[in-house]
Amino acid sequence: MTTNETKLTKKDFTSDREVRWCPGCGDYAILATVQSLLADIGARPEKTVFISGIGCSSRFPYYMDTYGFHTIHGRAPTVATGLAITRPDLDIWVVTGDGDGLSIGGNHLMHPLRRNVNLNILLFNNEIYGLTKGQYSPTSPLGSVHKSTPMGSLDRPVNPVSLALGAEATYVARSIDTDRQHLSGGLRGAYEHRGTSFVEIYQNCNIFNDGAFAALREKGQKEHNQIRLVPGEPITFGPEGERAVIAEQDGSLRIVPTEEAGERVVVHDPTRVEPTTAFALSRLAPSPTGPTPMGVFREVDRPVYDDELRKQVASARERYGEGDLVELLEGGNVWDVL
Amino acid sequence: MSGPSTAEPERIQLSSAVVRFAGDSGDGMQLTGDRFTTQTALAGNDLATLPDFPAEIRAPAGTLAGVSSFQLHFSDQDIHTPGDAPDVLVAMNPAALQKHLSALKPGGIVIVNTDAFTDRNLQKAGYEESPLHDGTMTDYQLHEVPVTGLTLRALERHIEEGALNKKEAERCKNMLALGLVSWMYSRPIAETEEWLEDKFSSKPEIADANVTALRAGWNYGNTTEAFAFTYEVKAAQLTPGRYRNITGNQAMAYGLIAASVRSGLPLFYGSYPITPASDILHELAKLKHFGAATYQAEDEIAAMGSVIGAAFGGHLAVTASSGPGIALKAEAMGLAMITELPMVVIDVQRGGPSTGLPTKTEQSDLFQLLYGRNGEAPIPVIAASSPADCFDAAIEAARIALTYRPPVALLSDGYLANSAEPWRLPAVDALPALDQAFAFTTEPNQQDGGFAPYLRDEDTLARPWALPGTPGLEHRLGGIEKEEGSGHISYDPANHHAQTAMRYARLERIGAQLPPLEVIDPSGEAEVLVLGWGSTKGPLQAACHELRARGRKGARVHLRHLAPLHPDLDDLLRSYRVVVCPENNMGQLAMLLRARTLVDVKTHNRVTGQPFASDELVEVIERMGWGEQT
């Protein structure tokens, strides 16, 4: 995090490049939210780096007037990790998508999460491959009919939040492109968290997968389906709070009418060290077509990989003194030839 | 003359000797060879080593597949190779004898551990009956030594006192063998005693047992009269200076640290474990007090990505792998090339293709590094030529990277990685001042106060290196084609062609600024040029030396830079009647030279997993024309 020097505005984070997403794409809303948020929280453009992979979402860095790196497919976390290790002074954001981050880059996504590298990872989930023009993705629902799956997709989708929690990520949140206030909250939390923050953002692809998140986006539906997670509050939802989340004997969670829940309503606590309840919450919604938890699932403190690595370097210097090249070369057995 | 019971063995002066230790992977042959090497280095000889071990950590005991060996060539002269045929073979079991006897010089000495010549072991080695008495050994000087039994007897007290059990005692047999060979070659063992005491400082009983076995081996030689001769190889007349022994991987790690110190940039080393490159990571992980951050990535691609990130962050960024790992890094290397960030990618080549021969050596990744990326993605490629040369090569790779800002490929190989040689330590202050090679850009470079990340330096054609954190220089990098100057995404056809040409021009600029090629031709009248690159330098040097000793004339040149090729090369190659290029691949550099110069370069290619023997090269070079001259 950097200090607030002169107050900047959204414009200071907006590059002079023409934005080239399809008209109506959810990415526009996310971009605007991020640009405003960075100004609000006093981030500095020169200390901010956006690193992306390949895909529609990964064009994001070009539109930010910060440092940026549009890398290769699936590998953004690897470049970001190298930068984070060498530069503790930077705020590093990784922008990825469901194809980039969960398919070709699935392996690389897991490792910063478990290492807890100081990164903010934003996964724009639109349940489709957009840039390659409409193939199903690892988050597309089973049976999805798209160009490469005319008879329906056969593989079970992955739930990004479950995956992040399974890797014991220390900050895990979910939000949606159109809800600026909610998204800002989740991103602000990510910015303030030291370690890897993971934010899944439901993002509508109006060209190849329009309406995938209608249950959570559209008036008349979203009031019934968004389960807003508020720390310290019992988890209830619905226009009148008429539904509630309770815990079962086996550790799983279930939705019941609030009036039946009584004392059994789960009180949301993202700071629980054990990720079990957070994971159970993520399993409430196999796909975002019904009641779906939104907000911060988990937020815990744990040593940060790159901090610890730098500490090892510092403690080695304390222990052995600043490295001396002559001493190094002459270490071991030397002999003189006269 | 004294009677036989008090006879001192006669000491024979030799100019050089080649000793090969061979045994089961679990017999500690690599360690035995390492210790004999150190003792030999301290005796002042020039030396070269060749470790050879199976890829399996513990191949089935007693089998041919499980044999591990270590060869050492030492001399009172300047030498360049680990030697062709050994003078002495120490065979700790029948499989070791079976595998290595044919390599031995006729009349050579064989020391066998007779205790290991059991029916079962003979059978595993493919012997129907013991080769020790069926005439197989007629042409050799056979010494039958019950190495295991002698070790157990020497350690009787240790076993009785419960300091170690029989199995642990047996494990000291390699030290007994080392003691015996040390006695034969008049090598002092005091240093190894100290080393053992230090290595096993937390287990003094193990240290004591090993020292006891070592001394028992020495004393066995000294008292049994089984050996009529001992040998002495006097110290070599090396160039004055301070020396140490060093392997290629260790020299590589030290070279990277030196590059970090001399550039003032902290080292970032991101890599994924792979044979035979992992020792560089192990070495650097111990050197954090130099400010070096080592990062074991989740895979080869992640390692490559991490160095791109670290280079963007302003560190001296380095990764290393071997052929299969470099294949995985290829796409990210293309990104490094187009984003023009300085870094070093080391390939410690091994036998290929695919998984190939992980612990063996080969030079077959040259084309992979030159061309193994999508699109036109030229990068500089250089090669180290001896274990100690890995130090200089690492600094040269860093120099090119920091000056011109490409990813630089640095080729080593399995032979260089694990072999050792004496190294005359360089004066640290005389190492290249890499801090002069670059400066971070801190100010806008446009009239209007803007920053154009692809505006190039006229001399080097390098683009600015502007680090995140620098106010006013915010810019975006990426793998999409750039517009010259601004670095913005560009799909303009003419721009793409111009950028591609620029990337080649930048590469050629590196070549144009190199010092002249060093051609070795003592006679000045040679008509034949022997040309090589990488680890063939030692065998080529030895072969040319031998031919010159026979009164033949010839020239030799060894290439450090494979891309760009030295601009003098065209004229040089055309000025000889014959050009010969032996390689441990199927003719990769030769093909390149033919394509570039249209000179009919002669080839000699072998991929056996082993370096060339100098005898073989003498024969080849003679046949190619060097022999015709007088």
Q: For residue A309, list chain B residues with Cβ-Cβ distance below 8 A.
A: 293, 295
Beta-carbon contacts of A118 under 8 Å, excluding residues fewer than 6 positions away, are A84, A88, A92, A194, A195, A196, A304, A305, A306, A307
Q: Residue B48 has which token pair? A: 């070269």
Closest in B317, B469, B480 to A87, CB measured: B469
Q: How far is CA A257 from CA A103, A219, A241, A268, B580, in A?
A: 37, 22, 9, 17, 86
CB contact under 8 A, A72 and B332: yes
Q: Is B31 exposed, middle or buried (0-12, 13-18, 19+ CB in 10 A)?
A: middle
Q: What pLDDT sits at residue B566?
A: 97
Instruction: State how beta strands B519-520 and B528-533 pair.
Output: unpaired
Q: For residue B312, list chain A residues with Cβ-Cβ distance below 8 A.
A: 69, 79, 82-83
CATH number at residue A131: 3.40.50.970
Q: For B13-60, what is each residue's pLDDT tens digit?
A: 999 999 999 999 889 999 999 999 999 998 889 999 999 988 887 788
Q: For residue A44, list chain B residues with Cβ-Cβ distance below 8 A.
A: 471
In a domain, A279, yes or no: no
pLDDT band, very low/low/confident/very high, at B627 (cuts 50, 70, 90): low
Q: What is the mean pLDDT of residues A320-337?
A: 92
In a domain, A120, yes or no: yes
- A203/chain B closest Cα distance in angstroms: 24
Q: What is the CATH number of domain B244-434?
A: 3.40.50.970
Q: How many CB atoms lie under 10 A from the CB of residue B247?
A: 24
Closest in A107, A313, A321 to B299, CB measured: A107
Q: What is the mean pLDDT of residues B440-462?
A: 96
Q: For residue B258, list chain A residues with Cβ-Cβ distance below 8 A.
A: 325
Q: Does residue A30 register a pLDDT over 90?
A: yes
Closest by CA to B101, choosing from B110, B28, B177, B138, is: B110
Among the ranges given (B110-114, B184-188, B452-456), the one the predictor scored with the smallest mean pLDDT: B184-188
CB contact under 8 A, B258 and A310: no
State the count of interchain CB pairs (< 8 A) between A and B: 208
Q: For residue B428, list chain A residues with Cβ-Cβ distance below 8 A.
A: 325-326, 329
Closest in B268, B307, B428 to A326, CB measured: B428
Q: How many CB atoms lie under 10 A from the CB of residue A150?
A: 7
pLDDT band, very low/low/confident/very high, at B228 (cuts 50, 70, 90): confident
Q: For B557-572, what is each residue's pLDDT tens digit?
A: 999 999 999 999 999 9
Q: Does residue B411 register a pLDDT over 50?
A: yes
Residue A20 domain boundaries? 10-212+303-311
Q: Does residue A197 register a pLDDT over 70?
A: yes
Q: Residue B158 has which token pair? A: 């240790």
The SS3 assignment for B237 reads coil
Task: Evaluate whether B96 touches B86 at the Cβ level (below 8 Å).
Answer: no
CB contact under 8 A, B289 and A81: no
CB contact under 8 A, A337 and B293: no
Q: What stretch of H or E contains B252? A: helix B248-263
Q: For residue A80, list chain B residues with Cβ-Cβ distance below 8 A.
A: 309
Closest in A86, A320, A330 to B315, CB measured: A86
In a domain, A148, yes or no: yes
In a domain, A262, yes or no: no
Phi-psi map region of A27: left, alpha, beta (phi>0 left; psi -120 to 50 alpha) = alpha
Q: What is the CATH number of domain B519-628?
A: 3.40.50.920
Closest by CA to B194, choosing from B42, B72, B92, B68, is: B42
Strand ranges (DSSP E) for B157-312? 229-233, 241-247, 267-271, 293-296
Q: For residue B471, list chain A residues with Cβ-Cβ distance below 8 A.
A: 44-46
Number of domains in chain A: 1
Q: What pLDDT sits at residue A2?
A: 46
Kindly compute the dihedral angle of the four CA atoms of residues A210, A215, A218, A221, in this order, to the nearest 10 degrees. 150
In a domain, A54, yes or no: yes
- B63/chain A closest Cα distance in angstroms: 35
Q: What pLDDT sits at residue B626?
A: 75
Closest by CA to B70, choosing from B136, B115, B111, B18, is: B18
Q: For B261-286, what is each residue's pLDDT tens digit?
A: 999 999 999 999 999 999 999 999 99
The SS3 assignment for B618 reads helix
Q: Does residue A4 register a pLDDT over 60?
A: no
Q: For residue B44, list chain A residues with Cβ-Cβ distance below 8 A.
A: 335, 337
CATH 3.40.50.970 residue ranges for chain B: 244-434
CB contact under 8 A, A320 and B42: no
Share the mean pLDDT of chain B: 94
Helix axes B29-42, B190-199, angle to 10 degrees: 130
In a domain, A82, yes or no: yes
Q: How many CB atoms lie under 10 A from the CB of residue A325?
A: 18
Whether the complex's predicted ipTM is more than 0.85 is answered with yes
Q: What stretch of H or E contains B178? A: helix B173-184
- Asked if the C-beta of A81 comes within 8 angstroms of chain B's C-beta atoms, the answer is yes
CB contact under 8 A, A332 and B244: yes
Q: Residue B625 has which token pair? A: 């024309």
**What do you get for the CA distance between the two ends of chain B, in Å?**
49
Instruction: State how beta strands B141-145 and B381-383 pair.
Output: unpaired
Closest by CA to B609, choosing from B356, B380, B388, is: B356
Q: What pLDDT sits at residue A333?
A: 82
CB contact under 8 A, A78 and B335: no
Kindly compute the dihedral angle of the four CA atoms of residues B251, B254, B260, B262, in this order, to the nearest 10 degrees. -80
The SS3 assignment for A263 reads helix
CB contact under 8 A, B475 and A67: yes
Q: What pLDDT sits at residue A5?
A: 61
Closest by CA to B630, choosing from B525, B521, B553, B549, is: B553
CB contact under 8 A, B314 and A87: yes
* B46, B286, B288, best to mutate vs chain A, most A CBs in 10 Å: B288
Q: Does residue B535 register a pLDDT over 80?
A: yes
Q: For residue A66, list chain B residues with Cβ-Cβ distance below 8 A.
A: 474
CATH 3.40.920.10 residue ranges for chain B: 8-233
Q: What pLDDT sits at residue B55?
A: 84
Q: Does residue B2 register a pLDDT over 60?
A: no
Cα separation, B628 vs B630, whole angstroms = 7
Q: Where are the alpha helices (DSSP H) in chain A?
A: 26-40, 76-86, 98-99, 106-115, 160-166, 180-192, 214-217, 222-225, 258-261, 276-282, 305-320, 325-329
Q: What is B8-233's CATH topology?
A: Pyruvate-ferredoxin Oxidoreductase; domain 3 (3.40.920)
Task: Evaluate whether B193 touches B211 at the Cβ level (below 8 Å).
Answer: yes
In a domain, A113, yes or no: yes
Q: For A225-250, what is each residue's pLDDT tens digit?
A: 999 999 999 999 999 999 999 999 99
Q: For A175-193, what is each residue's pLDDT tens digit?
A: 999 999 999 999 999 999 9
Q: What stretch of H or E contains B215? A: helix B204-224
- A214/chain B closest Cα distance in angstroms: 34
In a domain, A125, yes or no: yes
Task: Evaluate whether B407 touches B337 at the Cβ level (below 8 Å).
Answer: yes
For residue B364, the 8-state DSSP code is T
Chain A stretch 10-49, residues whose beta carbon is closer than 8 A to a beta carbon of chain B: 15, 17, 44-47, 49
CATH 3.40.50.920 residue ranges for chain B: 519-628
Task: Evaluate whether B304 touches B345 at the Cβ level (below 8 Å).
Answer: yes
* B474, B475, B477, B491, best to mutate vs chain A, most A CBs in 10 Å: B474
Closest by CA to B563, choosing from B370, B308, B418, B299, is: B370
Cα separation, B99 vs B90, whole angstroms = 12
Closest-approach residue (CA) in chain B for A85: B310
Q: For residue A85, list chain B residues with Cβ-Cβ distance below 8 A.
A: 268, 293, 295, 306, 309-310, 313
For residue A104, the 8-state DSSP code is I
- B512/chain A closest Cα distance in angstroms: 31
Q: What is the mean pLDDT of residues A92-120?
A: 98
Task: Evaluate whether B614 touches B546 at the Cβ level (below 8 Å).
Answer: yes
Closest by CA to B460, choosing from B398, B410, B502, B408, is: B502
Q: How many CB atoms lie under 10 A from the CB of residue A292?
A: 23
* Amino acid symbol at A166: G
Closest-approach residue (CA) in chain A for B297: A78
Q: For residue B425, list chain A residues with Cβ-Cβ distance below 8 A.
A: 329-330, 334
Q: What is the mean pLDDT of residues B480-507?
A: 97
Beta-carbon contacts of B557 under 8 Å, excluding residues fewer than 6 positions away, are B517, B518, B519, B520, B529, B530, B531, B572
Q: Does residue B3 register a pLDDT over 90?
A: no
For residue A155, the 8-state DSSP code is S
Q: What pLDDT sits at residue B26?
A: 87
